[in-house]
């Protein structure tokens, strides 16, 4: 079945540091890929998405590129802020059997220090 | 108003009790989901529904049941709660292949 693997956390950075959170996926077909963010005490909300190979999703300074050849969708940000501290989930709109059920990685906690 | 509303937000219940978590959405989507979040385990799918008459088990459905009362409403029940069902529960909705919209979550504690 479909699955998502993302790097374990927590990731601890100083403000203005460069961020990379790795994400790889396994899926049949051609799923859409997503990054969600969860702030403390809240539900998940969409951060960015890409719907086909080589698409780049971007939002709030975050970027991720859909790499079909390496089945990856790594999240990057050039300069993190304290307010970016949250849990980040990589996800795919699963394509197995055409069902497109959202499938999530285990989440990566990001802690940004001033 | 929120796109997806879950009630209650917090609940403490005793072992063996029946409890229902409710979810309603205003997105107009046919697809609804219940997930459970545990530290280090991410989100695991409990049940999902593609429309009012189509309900399916997810990867961890044992001990849970659901009811899809309408396109907008999808409730999750724990027939006889046990302590290892203590977790954060999320309801979500999506269109086919598109992003999921989540509720704020229900923090359930079984003592």
Q: Give how far Cα B111 sits from Cα of A71, A86, B69, Å.
A: 42, 29, 29
Report which secondary-structure segment, H or E, holds B106: strand B106-110
Banded pLDDT at A2 (limits 50, 70, 90): confident
Banded pLDDT at A96 (limits 50, 70, 90): very low
User: Quick check: B5 and B25 in contact, CB under 8 A?
Assistant: yes
Of A32, A89, A105, the CB nearest to B97: A32
Q: What is the mean pLDDT of residues B65-90?
A: 97
pLDDT at site A29 = 76
Nearest-Cα distance to chain B for A1, in Å, is: 11
A contact residues 2-41, partner B, Cβ 8 Å cutoff = 31-32, 34, 36
Question: pLDDT (tens digit, 9 = 90+) per residue, B19-76?
Answer: 999 999 999 999 999 999 998 888 999 999 999 999 999 999 999 999 999 999 999 9
- Rounded CA-CA distance B25/B20 in Å is 17
A57 inside 8 A of chain B by CB:
no
Mutate which: A10, A102, A106, vs B, most B CBs within 10 A: A102
CA A110 to chain centre: 12
Q: B104–A45: do the CB atoms touch at under 8 Å?
A: no
Q: A93–B97: do the CB atoms touch at under 8 Å?
A: yes
pLDDT at site B2 = 79
- Rounded CA-CA distance A90/A23 in Å is 6
Least confident among A63-67, A84-88, B49-53: B49-53
């Amino acid at each position: 079945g479909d699955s998502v693997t993302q790097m374990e956390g927590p990731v601890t950075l100083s403000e203005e540091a460069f961020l990379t959170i790795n994400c790889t996926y396994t899926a049949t077909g051609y799923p859409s890929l997503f990054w969600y963010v969860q702030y403390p005490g809240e539900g998940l909300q969409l951060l960015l998405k890409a719907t086909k190979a080589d698409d780049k999703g971007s939002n709030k300074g975050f970027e991720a590129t859909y790499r079909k050849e390496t089945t990856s969708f790594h999240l990057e940000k050039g300069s993190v802020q304290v307010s970016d501290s949250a849990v980040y989930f990589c996800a795919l709109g699963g394509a197995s059997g055409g069902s497109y059920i959202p499938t999530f990685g285990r989440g990566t906690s990001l802690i940004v220090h001033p | 108003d929120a796109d997806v509303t879950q009630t209650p937000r917090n609940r403490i219940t005793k072992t063996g009790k029946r409890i229902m978590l409710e979810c309603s959405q205003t997105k107009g989507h046919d697809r609804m989901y219940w997930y459970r979040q545990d530290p280090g385990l991410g989100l695991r799918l409990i049940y999902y529904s593609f429309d009012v008459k189509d309900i399916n088990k997810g990867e961890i459905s044992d001990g849970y049941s659901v009811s899809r009362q309408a396109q907008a409403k999808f409730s999750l029940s724990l027939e006889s709660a046990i302590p290892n069902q203590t977790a954060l529960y999320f309801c979500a909705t999506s269109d086919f292949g598109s992003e999921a919209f989540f509720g704020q979550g229900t923090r359930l504690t079984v003592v």
